[in-house]
Amino acid sequence: MPSETSDVPPPLAATASSGLKIAVAGGFGVGKTTFVGAVSEIAPLRTEAEMTGASIGVDDVAATPAKTTTTVAFDFGRISLDDQLVLYLFGAPGQERFEFLWQRLFTGALGAVVLVDTRRIEASHASLDRVEAAGLPFVVAHNVFDDEDEVFGLDTIHESLSLSPDVPVVRCDARDRTSVRDVLVRTLDHVRQAAALHTGVPL
């Protein structure tokens, strides 16, 4: 019998019959890989590569000087919501040069989380544009970094991103499992509300 401290991930329940796909988007270095890894019940699949001199002048690391790797395809994680329902997380690369991957990652997704870093909020615009173009209901999550000089109000973030009134903005710590879980719960609630609004039938 395995001990309670075993690092072996739980197997997918034999009764699992339904899967929900949520995309995790946002600018370069905003915390998407950390977000997926914090909540995944399995060791997350990561496609990170060492940053090289080719990224100089292309990837803005001013706000994340310690960052040495970057996602070049996607991050993948899994969460069993109950014995039948499984949530699959797909983290999209943040740089626009990987935008050819975004459409495939968004295909089949019910909704999305868009992480933002208010120290460079303009870096979120491309991801927001792509998620909106895909027609996905989404939640904006402000990932709070320790060295932020000022933590802006959620209404201020909403306004600065020119979001539609129905788009929720929440606060999160991408390193914290409980915080990430709360964002995903809010996202699923928003997806259900959007489905009920457009089809008249709740998800």
* Beta carbons within 10 angstroms of residue 61's beta carbon: 15
| Residue 174 CB partners (closer than 8 Å, separation 6+) | 31, 32, 34, 35, 38, 115, 143, 180
Per-residue pLDDT of the chain (203 residues; tens, 9 = 90+): 444 444 555 665 655 556 899 999 998 889 999 999 999 998 876 554 453 444 444 444 454 444 344 444 568 899 988 888 899 999 888 556 556 666 778 899 999 999 999 999 998 998 999 999 999 999 999 999 998 888 899 999 999 999 999 999 999 999 999 999 999 999 999 999 998 887 665 55
| Residue 202 CB partners (closer than 8 Å, separation 6+) | 192, 195, 196
Q: Which amino acid, 137?
A: P
| Residue 98 CB partners (closer than 8 Å, separation 6+) | 72, 73, 92
Helices 32-39 and 177-199 cross at an angle (nearest 10°) of 100
Q: Residues 44, 83, 180, 137: is their CA dihedral positive or negative?
A: positive
Give the model's pLDDT for residue 55: 41
Token pair for 64: 């994340």
* Beta carbons within 10 angstroms of residue 100's beta carbon: 7
Give the model's pLDDT for residue 154: 97
